[in-house]
Every structure is written in structure tokens, then in C-alpha cells.
Chain A
Amino acid sequence: MTYLEYNVKRTPAGLAKVMHLNWPLVVLVIAVAGVGLVMLFSVAGGSMRPWAEPQARRFALGMVLMFAIAFTPLWFWRSIAAVAYALSVLLLLGVEFFGTIGMGARRWLELGPVRLQPSELAKITLVMALAAYYDWLDLKRTSHPLWVLIALVIIVVPTLLVLRQPDLGTGLLLGAGGTIVMFAAGVSWIYFAVAVAAAGGTVALVLASRGTEWQILRDYQYRRIDAFIDPSLDPLGAGYHISQAKIAMGSGGWSGRGFMQGTQSRLNFLPEKHTDFIFTTLAEEFGFVGAVSLLALYLLIIAFCIVTILRASSRFGALLATGVTVSFFLYFAVNMAMVMGLLPVVGVPLPLVSFGGSAMVVLLISFGLLQSVHVHRPRTPA
């Protein structure tokens, strides 16, 4: 059980690193991705195309990247953190000015043959930057207003750029993930208490601005809020998605309607059944048992991530692992809450399961970073 040994005598090197990977985490990630492939196969009506097959290929690519990153020394990641962060901010600015418009939002950057989604990249670089920042910062200054402000700027810049695209889901999760890393780093409780109060005020402000000249959100976003509060308000319009999603969830019952027997998804009543709403298909076809099982798998992933956080010997490693863990948690928790009608529909995919190449690859890269923290947990002797 090398991966659980607390203080290994020396940093593993070469092939020995393989033994020190957080293996249960690898297995769990493969298991959840497997569930995703099965669901993509189902929503395609029992076919590997058009979703399951490309998804499998991207998963394979992501796994290779994950291992490569895991075996790269942690100090390397710390040293490139600032550069990576600066680069991703530049790319986000590039999207702002040169981005490709698709589905009412400007999210992609065409770089030759590669189609890049910088907001996905920012998820990793922000966490890296914050971890590196608090690793560098004197512990005593952690709660000093000036240094808190600098951390906030690090978070706010990419968050605002993503929100402007507009990508509400990614933007909010970016901000939330960064804030939680600050919390883990030990910033004083008082700031968070103030922040929660401020957030409440902001929500009030956003709602109050509706219909005025300085309206903050787009009309469609307000309609989503309305539909969230009362889906029956507009069952065929804005509330249609969530109503149909709830019907799909609920009709699954205890054990579900059976593999590929979900009428809601098979007959296209479910919107976005292969991306954001894939969890409802799973809940419809495999019922409460299936839904809770997937949630359990996710929680096991979180648990083994926490093992890595607690075993990390460096401040950078611990905070980086925290950022990865928290982002992952936020993604699946917000997605599930969203499709179950507990949160507004903001467009957050279900990690490792929803169809989507860049999200999958970025997720596996971030797990690669976490594995690197795990592999390189003992401090190298001074």
C-alpha cells in the first residue's frame, strides 16, 4: 500500500513513481468515465456513435496526459504556475477580441487547426496560481487585507472574462473554486462571512436591476431564473427543460426503467440529454439505485482526493490538490442540483460523464496534477 505510506523515505524516482500513484483514484476515475460511456451509448439509441466513441478516444488521450503530468516533478508545476496563469488570461482576452461565436456566446479561440476553449484551461491555471501564491506568501500575511486583495484580483480577472463571454456556469464555478482555495489556505473567517453577506446583496441587486437600463444579466438568464423558481410558469418555453428533466428523474423510481428504456430521453423529451442533462437519463434508466451509486462513486473520488490533500507535504501541493478536488466537487454537485431543480440551469456539465472533449481532457489534466502531488508527497531533503 505504498500510496498510503505517510513519510516515504525518499522521493520516488523513475518507474518507482508508478507504485506511488493514488491508484484507487485512477480506478474510480475510469469507473465513472465507464458509466459515462454506457450512458452516451444509451442516449444514442444503443450506438457508439455519435458520442460514445469520440468520448472514449478523448478519455484515452486524457489518461495519457494524466499519467505524464503525474510523473512530472511537482516543483516544475509550481515554477510554471505564474506563466501558465498569465498565458490563460491572455487567451481569455484573445477570446474577448478574436473569439468564435457559437450558440450565443463567444467561447472558442481558433488557433490554426486547434479549437481552444481558454475558460477550461483557466480552471487549472487559476488553481495553480493560487496554490503557488499562498506557497510563496508568508504565513503571517495570509489574512492581511492587501494580500487578500491580491488573491482576489487573481481570481476575479479570469472569472470576469469568462462571465463576459458569457458563460455563467464556468464563471461562477471558477470564482467559487478560487475562493475555496483561499479558504483552505487559511484566510480569516471574517472575510468569508463578509463575502457571504455581499453575495446575498449581489443577488438582491441582480434581481432588482431587471428591466432597468443597468440590467446586469441577459434576458434569457432572467428567464432561466424565473423558470427555475416556477417551472410550471412556462412549461413549453424556458421551464420546459427543467420540467422534462424532473419528469425523467422522478419516473425512474427505485430501480429505473431499464437500460435504454427511458422514454423521456429515448423520445427526445429531454433536452441536452448527452451533455448537461445526462444525469437525468441515468436516473431515469437506473432509478434511485443508479443515481445514488454514481453519487457514491463521486464521493469516493472526493474521499481519495482528500487523502492526497492530507498526505501532501508541501503547502503548494496541498492547496493545488484542494483546488482540484473542490472544482471537481462543485461540478458534479452543481450539475446534479441543477437537473434536479435545486439550482438554476446554468450550463454545467457532469464531470467525466457528459459528452464534451475539452472538459474531459482538462479534468484528467487536473487529476494528473493531483496525482503529481500524491507521487511527490515527501519533501525532498534540503
Chain B
Amino acid sequence: MRRTPREEALSARLVTRRTVFLGGVQLAVAGTLVWRMRDMQLNQADQFRLLAEENRINIRLIPPTRGLIQDRNGIVIAGNEQNYRIVMVREDAGDVDLVLERLQTLIALSDDDIERAHRDVMRNRPFVPVTIAERLEWEAIARVAANAPALPGITPEVGLSRHYPMVEDFAHSVGYVGPVTERDLEALEAPDPVLQIPRFQIGKIGVERRMEDRLRGTAGSRRIEVNAVGRVMRELDRIDGTPGSNVTLTLDARLQNFVQARLAGESAAGVVMDVQNGDLLAIASAPGFDPNLFVRGISVPDYRELLEDPYRPLVDKTVQGMYPPGSTFKMVVALAALAAGETSASERVFCPGHMDISGHRFHCWRRGGHGRMNMVSALSESCDVYFYEMALRIGIERINEMSARLGLGIRYDLPMSGIAAGLNPTREWKQARRNEAWLVGDTVNASIGQGFVLSTPLQLAVMTARLATNRAVLPRLVRDAGEDDAAARQARALDLNPEWLALIKRGMSECTNHARGTAYSTRIVDANYRHAGKTGTSQVFSITRAEREAGIRRQEDLPWNRRNHALFVAFAPEDAPRIAVSVIVEHGGGGSSAAAPIGRDIVLAALHGDMPPLSAYPASQRNRIETQMGELSSRLRPLASGGSDRA
């Protein structure tokens, strides 16, 4: 529209005015923007920089190398093995199915494995490495590496995994590791973040569990840059962790192997202890199991088999198994009677084969009776009536007192799992547990290690060591670094009258070396190795009246789980004791027949340091023993002497 110059001027003035106003508004808005930039980029820059770094940087832990567990000579009991595995990165693989198919022709993979691998690969982001197979042989890895061009996206990797070269020998004492579970984490107050690493291994039982802190070490870390979807772009830096400390045990792998092999086939336990310093030289429970199965994650059928085995291979019978000590308890009663002044070396007690106490007849194991017995012959021939008499004189309290003094009924602090305390039964205990009054018959039963008395094989070994040395020997499983002065380790004195002890030791010596002794058939004829011991046979079920009337059945006629436990304890050499041994064969029948032969072989192996020498056995037995040992040595593990071959 045409306008007059006046109108034009008016319009121009108006536009100019409003444009200037708008310009001012725009400047104000720009000012606000600058103020905001200043606020974010200058005032809060540090916080935002931190957030950006948190975005971009992830910390990945590097698992530490677990410390080794070695025997007293440095032989590796628990080591770390190279674990070769195959991983696949989907985005590098291209055709996943084709690559898996090719892989199947090179390494042993079942169709199920392939299916699982395919699922895992597809479920993860394309750049995430997925483990296809692990614990492969070196040859399989070499085959895969040689065919690398045909296998895009496949890389062989190597990690470390726990390995137990001694298989079942240390399954109970050393235990095993396994993948961390929720329960493991809940049990810890402040779990180490390293435990969150997938498939990280933690000690489950035994030394592996109890000394976890020393063995584990501390994790290293690497800082890596990741992008928004978590892909690793590069490693920024790396802090190496510290490997776990090695643990040296007092055990002797060679002896342990011998004991384990000697016990094989029985449900049994054997303990060998250095009487001077308490070092456990062997602590074996049979049957064993392969701890390596647990490291890999044991299969359900394998685990069920172990659980359902009547010989209970998963139980460590040396420290967890509590047994009536039977006649091996008689040394305690004898010493208690001497200490109480209720008897003397020369006193004789007549054994007619039984004793009637408050209307109940207590039998001696020998129906016809032993005749007149003194303390030495009562121990040697294991006369029950003699000890019934002693028990009646001194009562349960004084028996318990001596029992505790000799190391029974005490829970020892060893790095093993489920250590039992055993039981020295008291009046109060019976009242509290059974709500029954203590009867004199209970004392009588206790005098021959029956009734309520319970001991572990470890405790019986400690008792024997204390009898041999008159010192309060304490068992020890781990050697502390830098300290192995035997004198410094010597236990405090037990302060028993040496004359009493000499009497007890003579009783034990005659038990193994006197023609009338219960263990005479398993004597050692080599004077350097001669041992002094005591057999024990403890009833699991009392013989019923009906059975008695039908004539006492022989042990062999009873079902296995109703047979008596067989026990044997000994120290050797008898003149200058070095070792104490205890053996228990569950439902073995009799101490002299089932436990004493094992005990003798162990004593000889421990003292000789190798297979027992044939010359130590009585000449008449050598042929039989030779065959037996030949068979046994074929089952022994060849051991590299000292040093470690695995790292």
C-alpha cells in the first residue's frame, strides 16, 4: 500500500523502537546463556569432569595368584595350573554357527556344549568374550591356534586354576577351593571385591578355607576406558596385585601318601605326630576323594555317590570323627589311679572274667578271665576287670581330670574344618543332656573307653605323644615361616610322676612286645624301630541278651556297620620316642587284628622314611608282608623330592 512520507517515517520509527527493544531482550537472553556456561564450565567443571571420568573409566580387578600349599619338604600339595580355554567374540566371528562347527572338528565339544555356547554368545553383547570351552589340553589349544585363520573371533586364553597333584591324599586336611557362592559372600563381613570376579576361587574347607586370607593375596587392578555400551576402548594403566603367601605344612607328603594308601579299602583314619614338637606328619582319613572334582564344580551324580557311600568319604575322620576310645583309654584310668594313690605297681587284682556291680554283671573281654593282674599285665593283656576295679576306686571326676591332662576332650586349634572336641562325660553333662543321674555303671563303662567317652584319632595321637614325652604336646599343622627350632617349640612339661609313666610305658611295651600282649603278633623286631602301643576295640552296639544266649557271635558274622571299631595307638622307638601314631578302623572288628597291623606299618614307614624294611618284621611274617608291601608300593604316588615344579 502506498503511504505518505509521514506514515513511512512513523512506521520506521516504530520498527526501530521495537527492534532496539528486541535487541535488548536478545542480549539479555545471551547474557543468561553465558552465565549458565560460566556456572557449568568454570564453577562446576571439577564435578562434571569427575562424572565424565566415572562414565568412561571402569576398574577391572586382576585376580591375584593364590599361594601354594607345600609339605614340610617343599613338595606342592595345592598348586596353580594353567587353565587353557577358548573364548569367542561374536562381532569378530561373523558366522557364529559356521565357526562353532569348525571348532567342533578340532576339539571335543558335544552338541550340547555347542548349543550352550551358541546361546551364551548370542545373549551377550557382540564384543563380549564368551568362554566356549575350558580345561583343554595343550594339544587342543595348539590345534585351534594352528587353524586360527579359519576361526575368526576365536582366541585361546590361559588362566590359573587350583590343582591338587596329590589327589585324595590331602582332600580332608588341605581341603579344596571352589567358585565363590552367595553363601560364601554372606558369611563374610566385608567381602573383598575380588570375590565378585566370575569364577573366582575361594577356599571351601580345610587349610584352603581356614588360611584363605594368607593364601588369597590382594587383587591388582587395571583401569580401562569404556564407551557408552561398555566396550573396552583401551587400557589406561594397571596396578599389579600381590600374590598370596605360600603355606608350608608340617605334613610329609611321602608319609601321608603311604598312610592314605595303607588305609585304602577301609573306613579309617590315621594320625602320625612328632612327639617332641607336635608337628603332624600325616593325618589321613579314608576313603578319600578327589578335591579337583570340587574345583571344577562337581557333577550331581559324582556328589551323590560321595554322599551315599556308607564309608562317608567326605568326612574327615581324624578330627571330625568321635569314637569310643575303647581300651586305648586304659592308660588314662591307670594313670588316674596312680595319681590318686589308690593303687601301686605291685598291687594285683583278680580277674574272674566278670565283675558284678550293683546288680549288673560287667564282663571282661576274655570270658575265662585273666587271673591275677598287675598294672603292667592289665595294660598289656587289656584286662577289663582290673580297670573296673580302678574306676570304682577313683570315680569319674578323677578319670576326666587325667583325660583332659593327657589331651582328650579338647578342641585343638588347627586350620582344619569341623574339628570336634570329643567328650569327657561328667555327671553334670549327663544330667543336662539326658536328664538322668550318673550311675556307677557309667563310670565302669568309661574305664574301658566305652559308654559316653568319645575321642578323635587326633586326640588319641596327642595322648600317646604326651605319655611318651611327659610334655603337654600340642598338635601343629602349619609351619611358621622363619621359625623351626625344635627346642623353641618344645611343649611345657606335663609334670606326671616319671615312675608312673615308666609303668604305663612298660605296659604298652609289653602289649606289643611281650608274648602275652594283645599286639604281640604285630611286634617290630628291629630294635631301632621297636614300638610300644595299645590296642582298643570299642563296641558300637552292645551285644543283646538274645545274642549272648545264642553264643557270642563272631565279628565277621555281624553286618559291617554293627562290627566293633578297631583302634591302635603307639609311640616309637620305644626307648627314645620320636613319633606317636593313632589308627582307627571303623567297624574293623578288633584292635589287634584290624588296627595294630596298620599302625605297625605306619610306624615303620614314618621312622624309616621309606617303605617299611622287611627285616623289621618277625621272620615268620615276612613272606606275607612282602606280598602285601609289594602290592601297596604299586599304589604309591611317585614324588619328586623337594622343590616345586608348579608355580
Residues of A within 8 A of B (CB): 135-139, 180, 183-186, 244, 246-254, 263-264, 266-269, 283, 287-288, 291-292, 295, 298-299, 302, 306, 309-310, 312-313, 315, 318-319, 322, 326, 329, 333, 336-337, 340, 342
Contacts and interface: CB of A to CB of B under 8 A. Distances in A.
26 contacts: A135-B1, A138-B1, A139-B3, A180-B22, A183-B18, A186-B14, A186-B18, A250-B40, A250-B51, A250-B52, A251-B45, A254-B42, A263-B52, A264-B56, A267-B228, A268-B228, A268-B229, A269-B227, A283-B37, A292-B34, A299-B27, A306-B19, A306-B23, A318-B11, A318-B15, A329-B29
A111 B23 CA distance: 40
Nearest to B51: A247
B226 A267 contact: yes
B48 interface: yes
A249 B41 contact: yes
Most B CB atoms within 10 A — which of A263, A312, A319? A263
Contact of A136 (B1, B8, B51): B1
B188 interface: no
A184 B52 contact: no
Contact of B48 (A136, A249, A319): A249
Given A263-B52, A267-B226, A319-B15, A288 B29 contact: no
Given A253-B49, A333-B30, A267 B56 contact: yes
Nearest to A269: B228
Contact of A251 (B32, B37, B52): B52
Given A268-B227, A302-B26, A247 B48 contact: yes
B56 A342 contact: no
A342 B40 CA distance: 12
B225 interface: yes
Nearest to A329: B26
Interface string B306-348: 0000000000000000000000000000000000000000000
Contacts of B47: 250
Contacts of A254: 41-42, 45
B487 interface: no
Nearest to B17: A186
Contacts of B36: 337, 340, 342
A312 B16 CA distance: 10
Q: Give the top 9 A-B pairs by smallest Cβ distance, nearest first.
A: A250-B48, A267-B227, A251-B52, A253-B45, A268-B228, A288-B41, A186-B14, A251-B49, A251-B48
B617 to A, nearest CB: 78
A180 to B, nearest CB: 7
Contacts of B19: 184, 306, 309-310, 318, 322
Interface in B604-637: none
Contact of B42 (A253, A299, A333): A253
A180 B52 CA distance: 40
Given A137-B1, A251-B45, 20 more contacts: A139-B3, A183-B18, A184-B15, A184-B18, A186-B15, A244-B55, A247-B48, A249-B37, A253-B41, A269-B227, A291-B37, A295-B33, A295-B34, A306-B23, A312-B15, A329-B29, A333-B29, A336-B33, A337-B33, A342-B32
A372 B569 CA distance: 116
Contacts of A185: 14-15
Interface in B212-262: 225-229, 233
A322 B48 CA distance: 39
B147 interface: no
Contact of B11 (A139, A267, A269): A139
B7 interface: yes
B516 interface: no
Nearest to A284: B52
Contacts of B226: 267
A71 to B, nearest CB: 24
B56 A292 contact: no
B427 interface: no
A267 B224 CA distance: 13
The dominant DSSP class at the B interface is: helix
A299 B37 contact: no
B1 A250 contact: no
A263 B55 contact: yes
B56 A269 contact: yes
B10 interface: yes
A326 B15 contact: no
B102 interface: no
B148 to A, nearest CB: 29
Contact of A184 (B22, B33, B49): B22
Contacts of A312: 15
B26 A340 contact: no
Contact of B10 (A139, A249, A266, A342): A139
B439 interface: no
Contact of A252 (B45, B53, B227): B45
Interface in B35-90: 36-38, 40-42, 44-45, 47-49, 51-53, 55-56
Most A CB atoms within 10 A — which of B10, B41, B47? B41
A340 to B, nearest CB: 5
B12 interface: yes
Contacts of B49: 250-251, 253
A333 B233 contact: no
Nearest to B229: A268
A69 to B, nearest CB: 22
Nearest to A333: B29
Nearest to B37: A291
Contacts of B55: 244, 247, 263-264, 267, 269
A358 to B, nearest CB: 25
Contacts of B42: 253-254, 288
B15 A183 contact: no
Nearest to B233: A267
Nearest to B227: A267
B517 to A, nearest CB: 82
A267 B18 contact: no
A246 B30 contact: no
B40 A246 contact: yes
A249 B40 contact: yes
Contacts of B53: 263
Contacts of A180: 22
A232 to B, nearest CB: 11
A269 B23 CA distance: 36
A184 B40 CA distance: 34
A288 B22 CA distance: 26
A333 B18 contact: no
B257 to A, nearest CB: 57
B3 to A, nearest CB: 7
A263 B233 CA distance: 11
Contacts of B40: 246, 249-250, 340
Nearest to A251: B52
A328 B30 CA distance: 13
Contacts of B1: 135-138
Nearest to A137: B1
Contacts of A329: 26, 29
Contacts of A183: 18, 22
A193 to B, nearest CB: 14
A34 B42 CA distance: 26
Contacts of B29: 329, 333
Contacts of A248: 52
B217 to A, nearest CB: 33
Interface string B451-488: 00000000000000000000000000000000000000
Contacts of A319: 15
Nearest to A263: B56
